[in-house]
Amino acid sequence: MLTLNFTKFPLLETERLILREHSLTDAEALYDMRTNETVMKYIDRERPKDLLEIKTFISTFNQGFENGDNLAWVIALKENPNQMIGSIGYWRTDYANHRAEIGYMLHPDYWRKGIISEALKRTIDFGFNDMNLHTIKANINVENDASRQILIKQGFVKEAHFKQDYYFRGKFLDSEIYGLLNPKH
């Protein structure tokens, strides 16, 4: 059985990080990241218009957790757990096939310190051992070399390259799909 409807949001810890539930007080930090063109360079999604839209977004994925559709964590440093520095989570859960898509982003002040690698290790472990996922998928913009390198370092393998399968801002973009199999299955 795929388990995504936890009764309590799963708070996770790593050596340096706390992975916690989103709160409306994270709205500004999330808005700053999702409107920062350096962060969003390879994330082909519309930017939020205002803080209200971000607050609705936070409420939607907190409800998504309650419905069992997704599981998204705020990344914070242990020494400052209220300050959101990034996010990581599972989206578009495919229940029938025990498969979910992972996504992540980090504020540029914290890049290249191994933070996403650390968060990814913990959430992959959680995905396989607590959610009972069979496979984890990641979908990247083909130019996102940083994300590609992270996935490869975590053991993901390239599974597909879809040509012009995604329409964004007047263009049809290619997608690269990476996958990781549950080693215990």
Ligand X SMILES: CC(C)(COP(=O)(O)OP(=O)(O)OC[C@H]1O[C@@H](n2cnc3c(N)ncnc32)[C@H](O)[C@@H]1OP(=O)(O)O)[C@@H](O)C(=O)NCCC(=O)NCCS
68/103 with CB nearer ligand X? 103
The set of residues, in sequence order, having a beta carbon less than 8 Å from that of 158 and lying 6+ positions away, is: 176, 177, 178
Choose the stretch contacting ligand X; rule: CB under 6 A; options: 8-16, 102-110, 127-135, 175-183.
102-110
CA distance 163 to 153: 25
Q: How far is the CB of 150 from ligand X (least distance, A)?
A: 4
Among candidate residues 183, 4, 182, the one with its CA nearest the CA of residue 92: 4
2/177 with CB nearer ligand X? 177
Residue of 111, 166, 167, 172 that binds ligand X (CB under 6 A):
111
Is residue 161 at the binding interface for ligand X, with CB under 6 A as the rule? Answer: no
Per-residue binder mask for ligand X (CB under 6 A), 62-101, x = binder: ----------------------------------------
Cα-trace Rg, the chain: 16
E-assigned strands of the chain? 12-13, 17-20, 71-77, 86-94, 99-106, 135-140, 157-168, 171-181
Length of the chain: 185
Choose the stretch contacting ligand X; rule: CB under 6 A; options: 14-22, 60-68, 149-157, 160-168.
149-157
Q: How far is the CB of 74 from ligand X (least distance, A)?
A: 14
Is residue 185 at the binding interface for ligand X, with CB under 6 A as the rule? Answer: no
Q: In terms of DSSP bridges, do strands 135-140 and 99-106 run parallel, antiparallel, or are they unpaired? A: parallel
Site for ligand X in 114-143 (CB under 6 A): 114-117, 140
The set of residues, in sequence order, having a beta carbon less than 8 Å from that of 34 and lying 6+ positions away, is: 40, 47, 48, 54
Binding positions for ligand X, rule: CB under 6 A: 39, 42-43, 103-106, 111-117, 140, 144-147, 149-150, 153
